[in-house]
């Protein structure tokens, strides 16, 4: 059984352990470091707890920390949009957890934020995230070719979104 919950300072050690995985980091921005240290975990949790506008949550499975998910409202001309970010510990991949977590975050976002669109930007090589987004109801809006530079190579950037209906 999974649940979305608030981050707590006590999560730092487990976060550092499960996030320190090259198979996760390869699909994340460079703001998600690899290796992922205890200090990185403490810094992230402090930001997640105190961020004034974003909704940044932990994912637990059977009372064990398993990943993170967040909605980040945009500003200026993008003020009716929020970016979705997510990751899951590798041992939980392929079990449907993230699809359900994303569906729950869509409900949270549209009920608590003044937005009309939630979008995500997976790398073109991240077939797992693409499949999860599509299962959660996101539609492909754009493919930007070779716009991401990660680990010495250029990758496609995909833009997926779901809109308030």
Tens of pLDDT along 106-149? 999 999 999 999 999 999 999 999 999 999 999 999 999 999 99
Q: Residue 165's pLDDT is what?
A: 82
**For position 98, what pLDDT does the model report?**
97
* pLDDT greater than 90 at residue 105: yes
**What is the chain's mean pLDDT, rounded?**
97
CATH superfamily assigned to domain 2-163: Gcn5-related N-acetyltransferase (GNAT) (3.40.630.30)
pTM of this structure: 0.96
Query: What sign for the dihedral angle of Cα 123, 143, 138, 111?
Result: positive
Give me the residue spans of the domains in the chain: 2-163
């Amino acid at each position: 059984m999974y649940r979305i919950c608030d981050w707590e300072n006590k999560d730092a050690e487990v976060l550092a352990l499960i996030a320190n995985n090259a198979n996760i980091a390869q699909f994340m921005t460079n703001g998600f470091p690899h290796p992922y240290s205890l200090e990185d975990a403490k810094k992230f949790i402090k930001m997640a707890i105190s961020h004034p506008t974003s909704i940044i949550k932990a994912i637990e499975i059977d009372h064990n920390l398993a990943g993170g998910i967040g909605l980040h409202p945009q500003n200026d001309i993008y003020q009716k949009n929020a970016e979705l970010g997510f990751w899951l510990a590798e041992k939980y991949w392929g079990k449907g957890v993230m699809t359900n977590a994303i569906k729950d975050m869509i409900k949270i976002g549209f009920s608590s934020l003044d937005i009309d669109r939630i979008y995500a930007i997976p790398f073109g090589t991240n077939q797992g995230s693409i499949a999860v987004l599509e299962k959660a109801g996101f539609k492909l809006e754009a493919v930007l070719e070779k716009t991401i530079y990660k680990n010495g190579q250029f990758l496609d950037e995909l833009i997926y979104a779901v809109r308030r209906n």
